[in-house]
């Protein structure tokens, strides 16, 4: 992932540029960025998590 610095005159211009950059990437590149940000977040919080957290819900069915 290469880093690019863009100086914008307004928040709207910066947001438009961000969207253009995101749309020019492949889905794999966008997923790589998400994974990179997840790893940085967990490292910053000093947590060690592998994979995505899963939530399970057990539902009992009523008979009859």
Within a domain: 57: no
Within a domain: 58: no
CA distance linking residue 17 with residue 9, whole number of Å: 11
Tell me the pLDDT tens digit for each residue of 31-48: 998 999 988 988 888 776
**Is residue 10 a contact partner of residue 18, using CB atoms and an 8 Å limit?**
no
Q: Is the pTM of this model over 0.75?
A: no
Within a domain: 50: no
Q: Quick one: CA torsion of 33, 34, 40, 45, rounded to 10 degrees?
A: 170
pLDDT-based confidence at residue 12 (cuts at 50, 70, 90): very high
Instruction: Indicate left, alpha or beta for 44 from its phi (over 0: left) and psi (-120 to 50: alpha).
Output: alpha
Within a domain: 55: no
Per the structure, how many domains does the chain have? 1
pLDDT-based confidence at residue 28 (cuts at 50, 70, 90): very high
Residue numbers of the domain that contains 23:
11-44
Rounded percentage of the chain residues whose pLDDT exceeds 70: 88
pLDDT-based confidence at residue 53 (cuts at 50, 70, 90): low
Within a domain: 30: yes
Within a domain: 15: yes
């Amino acid at each position: 992932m290469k880093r690019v610095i863009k100086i914008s005159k307004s928040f709207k211009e910066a947001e438009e540029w961000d969207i253009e950059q995101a749309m020019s990437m492949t889905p794999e590149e966008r997923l790589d960025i998400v994974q990179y940000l997840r790893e940085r977040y967990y490292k910053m919080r000093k947590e060690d998590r592998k994979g995505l957290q899963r939530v399970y819900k057990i539902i009992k069915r009523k008979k009859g």
